[in-house]
Amino acid sequence: MKSSIKAALVMTATLSAPVLAEQSGVSFDHKDWEVVCDNTLTCRAAGYSAEEEATGSVLITRKAGPDTPVTVDVVLAEMDADETTQQAKLSLWIDGKSQGEIATEDNDSWRLSDAQAHSMIDAVKGSGKVEFKGGAKPFVLSGDGAYAVLLKFDDVQGRVGTPGALSKKGDKAESSVTPAVAAPVIQAVEVKGGEDRTLTKAETAALKPRLLAALTSGNECDRLVSPQEPVIDGDNDITLTPLDGKHALISTLCWRGAYNEGYGYWVVDKALKGTPQFITNSASDYSDGVISLGQRGRGIGDCWASAEWVWDGETFRKSSESTSGMCRYVRAGGTWDLPEFVSEVKEAK
């Protein structure tokens, strides 16, 4: 993937609009575990089977704040599964002892009871063997990286040393736990534009230097810098989409890789005279006031990054940002939804 898309999956550094960038969340991974905490401080930790044996994954979810409950969901690997196979009756085993059958959920997943969840967490952060039986083959949950990830989980939520910590428990008052942060509210505004059009050569020559100058540190638009012979007609075009009586959206292809491509988007005044507002260089599409991103981490499509930006009448504000977890051959389309940024979007009036 392009360098603008981070590590294993990877969300781009370009996912936030610098004009109105809200604080994004925190992500951390170690060996077979990862944690993503969004901007409200809800954290989600995903653990996997060993990489050479893709059999399943678990997801630990907890909202911020004192005394909040912990949920643990389980999925089995199904990249090669027969679609006609019925959902298995899954049971949890720890150190060779059954902890009982696990309740089924929608979408071929299972949810542990509170007792099962805490037993699983205690075992996996230590030296216990955690196994899920009932599928085509047992799913052995790797403990490699679990303690480090759970410690980061607790650190972000201010739980280290409290009775409710997942990692280091202690006698600090539960009331000391960091409260949840409210999600930002975005009032979407209806787009009142017209038809897209391709900029003329004269318009392109005048605007192109200002588009490049608006790019923020670490964000590039290679094909705008050095136009290439188009593989597809229109690759090198710069398109203008009216948004309202004053604003327009500019877009052009910035890069293309083996199985992803990224479009650059800028907000400009309709007269093309002012300073463009850079939004992203890795978007996939625009429609009805929403810029969207969907990038796969590798060709088989078992891991994805996604994001959206919503038109608020002045700029496009980031409204969501997430990944689907590690590229571990667990599920087509990705294993989980791990938000790094969430918001409340109010529909256009």
- The 10s digit of each residue's pLDDT in 156-197 is 999 999 999 999 999 999 999 999 999 999 999 999 978 999
Q: Average pLDDT in the 273-287 region?
A: 97
What integer best gives the mean pLDDT of the chain? 92
pLDDT at position 230 is: 72
Lowest-pLDDT choice from 89-93, 191-195, 201-205, 231-235: 231-235
Q: Are 267 and 280 in contact (CB under 8 A)?
A: no
Q: Are 196 and 241 in contact (CB under 8 A)?
A: yes
Among candidate residues 111, 130, 127, 135, the one with its CA nearest the CA of residue 119: 130
pLDDT tens column, 66-114: 999 999 999 999 986 665 567 889 999 999 999 999 999 987 999 999 9
pLDDT at position 79 is: 80
Q: Has residue 299 got a pLDDT over 90?
A: yes
Q: Average pLDDT in the 51-58 region?
A: 95
Q: Has residue 12 got a pLDDT over 50?
A: no
- According to DSSP, the residues that pair with 92 across neighbouring strands are 132
The pLDDT confidence band at residue 19, using thresholds 50, 70 and 90, is very low
pLDDT at position 15 is: 36
Q: Are 215 and 266 in contact (CB under 8 A)?
A: no
Percent of the chain with pLDDT over 90: 85
pLDDT at position 229 is: 74
Q: Average pLDDT in the 34-38 region?
A: 98
Q: Has residue 198 got a pLDDT over 80?
A: yes
pLDDT at position 18 is: 31
Alpha helices for the chain (secondary structure H) = 114-124, 146-157, 201-214, 222-225
DSSP 118-184: HHHHHHHTTT--EEEESSSS-EEEP-TTHHHHHHHHHHHHT-TTSTT-SSS---S-GGGSPPPPPPP
Cα–Cα dist 116/103, whole Å: 11
Complete domains list, the chain, with CATH: 23-176 (2.60.40), 185-346 (no CATH)
pLDDT at position 106 is: 83
Cα–Cα dist 96/161, whole Å: 30
- According to DSSP, the residues that pair with 11 across neighbouring strands are none
pTM above 0.95, yes or no: no
Label each residue of 177-195 as H, E or C: CCCCCCCCEEECCCCCCCC
- Give 199's DSSP letter: P
Percent of the chain with pLDDT over 70: 91
